[in-house]
Amino acid sequence: MKYSDDRRIVMTLDAGGTNFVFSAIMGTEQVIKEIILPSHADNLDKCMSTIVEGFNKVKERLQNPPVAISFAFPGPADYPNGIIGDLPNLPAFRGGVALGPMLHDKFGLPVFINNDGDLYAYGEAIAGYLPYINHLLEKAGNPKRYKNLLGLTLGTGFGAGIVRDGNLFIGDNSIAGEIWLLRDKLSPLANIEEHVSIRGIRKVYAREAKIDFENSPSPKEIYEICFGNEVGNKDAALKAFQEMAEAAGDAISNAITLIDGIVVIGGGLSGASNIFLPDIVKEMNSNFMGSDGTQFRRLVANVYNLEAKNELEKFLQGSVKEISVYGTNKKIKYDPEIRIGVGISKIGTSKAISIGAYAYALNSLDKLI
């Protein structure tokens, strides 16, 4: 981890529609107790004052001065310029609010704001799943290494971030990785969140159980129903996760075709991965059919479930062989198998976002030196 021993401090914020949670990170670890303040989502003056108050309280608790402010904030936004657009969950933000420039003026510090899906992916690439899988490949004696990552968050919605060769990919309009706007395979007139979200799982359960949506249990309860640990319709529960996985697998396939890297999943729904991840990978390994009836693979790469021990072992082993260097007596290792893996976050979504915010700030500062 490039910044694990870094002594610089970055102030951070987790911005929710109800509360703002302020903290500070040093060496990728939280160094003060979180400070929680109400967001005042419908009053811009109170909301902005709260943000300044929160960072002032953080600064007062630090033994050394911070070098930057870096945090995730909802979009739409012009993230590079720190300008926040019209937010559904924070109705006070309308018409463009220059949050970054305001904080820079108040604190005299560089301010970095990004989407939470982007920072999640960056945290996983810097100190999460990407170094984890590369370490396992090294231990297995396999020469293959991964530099690209698609980070996904499954929860209230379906979010994503893209890291290419160690760099966070934001896009020209700060809207790269907006996977929630992909088409839903199972409901072609709708976007993917109709199935891949908390409400999507509840909706399918209600449909299959023939109950009103308002009476549909939570995803956690639906998960327990799958195993008989809660009273409910088991077939409906299994169907809810199966449809979510099929739709998600299709969307992830579309995205990873353009990225070619490791896929890591976090978010509140990731706790149910043992029931839906095999079906996601099954969908990604499925076939297209040509007009003549000939089948061919949906993806060029073989896709492995990295949470299944036998598949992880096959992924790490690959197809390594030794080949001769033409015109010499030398031999080198070569792994010709084209493959990608899908796994579940080992560090957790919240920590990955914090690490992403910290590392993004320091990396940006280091580029200025």
Helix, strand, coil tally for the chain in percent (to 5): 40, 25, 35
pLDDT tens-digit series, residues 217-274: 999 999 999 999 999 999 999 999 999 999 999 999 999 999 999 999 999 999 999 9
- Residue spans of the domains in the chain: they are 9-115, 129-346
Which amino acid appears at position 307 of this protein?
E
CATH, domain range 9-115: 3.30.420.40
Work out the average pLDDT over 124-142.
94
Q: Label residue 50 by pLDDT band (50, 70, 90).
A: very high
Q: Does 129-346 match 9-115 at the fold level? A: yes
129-346, what's its fold? Nucleotidyltransferase; domain 5 (3.30.420)
Left, alpha or beta for 313 (phi > 0: left; psi -120 to 50: alpha)?
alpha
Please, what is the Cα angle at 243 between 125 and 290, to 5 degrees? 85
Q: Is the pTM of this model over 0.85?
A: yes
| Residue 11 or residue 76, greater confidence | 11
Return the structure tokens found at 289: 């059919």
pLDDT tens-digit series, residues 302-329: 999 999 999 999 999 999 889 999 999 9
Phi, psi of 231 (to 5 degrees): -75, 130
pLDDT tens-digit series, residues 190-224: 999 999 999 999 999 999 999 999 999 999 999 99
Q: How far is the C-alpha of 44 from the C-alpha of 66, rounded, in Å?
A: 26
Work out the average pLDDT over 43-49.
95
DSSP letter string over 219-250?
A: HHHHHHHHTTSSSS-HHHHHHHHHHHHHHHHH
Q: How far is the C-alpha of 171 from the C-alpha of 134, rounded, in Å?
A: 26
